[in-house]
Amino acid sequence: MKVVEFLKQTRTGLSLHAFEMKDILSPTLRQHWLGFKNKANHSLPAAFISNKVTASNDDVVQPLEKVEEKVSAPITMKPEAEKLYHELTATLGEVIHTGDWLVVDQPRINKFADVTEDHQWIHTDPERATEESPFKTTIAHGFLTLSLLSVLTDSVDPEKQKFPTAKMTVNMGFNQIRFPYPVKSDNRIRATTTIKSVTPVKRGLEIVQELTVQIEGVRRPGCVAESVIQLHF
């Protein structure tokens, strides 16, 4: 028996005896049966059988009609968005912004510990850290360093914005985050911004940028994050 004929007969049999099977099943199994039957009727094999499938004498099944692909409408950028798009595209791979130095002192670390309820001694106990920590001092939480990126990249100061022509900046998340070296208490840090890609979207631009947190006097960075933002115009 051919596969297509077998599937047709099986589907027909299930349809003819569906009510009889439903009556003899328990309520729980009946629900599973009805769900299975509904999925089967909408499955690819069912759709395959329901369509007009023709076969030649050599039993070669002709392919189904190809589903038309939806073509997205082209995105029309506002003049200010288009101008920034060309400006940023010309700087791909280059550092476009370097922020000011910021001191990460113990009071700041303690406040972050209170907010996040993360009071590990490596962050909040200077005396123990001096004796037991390999860094001989307390260190900032990695997430504290990450949370400071907004101020380090001048994203919160209306007088020092990186993208002043945009009406709003939306944080879409991160593709990757690493903390190569810990930020010690009283270290000064700053962040640099490098544009990796710029893509027009419905409301403006989507930008993938690499943010690197530098630690004063330390070769290795405290954080390297690939950030995704959208600028709305």
Asked if 38 and 122 sit in the same domain, the reply is no
Phi (first) and psi of residue 197, to 5 degrees? -160, 155
- Residue 202 belongs to a domain with what CATH number? 3.10.129.10
User: What does the buried/exposed string (b/e) look like for 191-217 if buried means 16 or more CB atoms within 10 Å of the residue's CB?
Assistant: bbbbbeebeeeebbbbbbbbbbbbbee
Asked if 85 and 137 sit in the same domain, the reply is yes
Asked if 91 and 38 sit in the same domain, the reply is no
Asked if 120 and 44 sit in the same domain, the reply is no
Asked if 16 and 102 sit in the same domain, the reply is no
- Is 220 part of a structural domain of the chain? yes
pLDDT confidence tier of residue 75, bands split at 50, 70 and 90: confident
What's the start-to-end Cα distance of the chain, in Å? 63
> pLDDT tens digit string along 127-146?
999 999 999 999 999 999 99
Asked if 92 and 203 sit in the same domain, the reply is yes
> pLDDT tens digit string along 188-205?
999 999 999 999 999 999
> pLDDT tens digit string along 83-135?
999 999 999 999 999 999 999 999 999 999 999 999 999 999 999 999 999 99
Of residues 46 and 186, more confidence is placed in 186
Domain endpoint, select from 12, 30, 50:
50
pTM for the full predicted model? 0.67
Expressed as residue numbers, the domain containing 172 is 79-232
Asked if 102 and 197 sit in the same domain, the reply is yes
Asked if 45 and 132 sit in the same domain, the reply is no
* Alpha helix (H) residue ranges in the chain: 3-16, 18-24, 27-41, 44-50, 79-89, 106-116, 121-124, 126-132, 142-147, 149-152
Asked if 148 and 35 sit in the same domain, the reply is no
Question: 48's torsion region: left (phi>0), alpha (psi -120 to 50) or beta?
Answer: alpha
Asked if 83 and 36 sit in the same domain, the reply is no
- Is 57 part of a structural domain of the chain? no
Number of structural domains (the chain) is 2
**Structure tokens that stand for 29 in this block:** 């199994």
Asked if 194 and 92 sit in the same domain, the reply is yes
Phi (first) and psi of residue 227, to 5 degrees? -100, 145
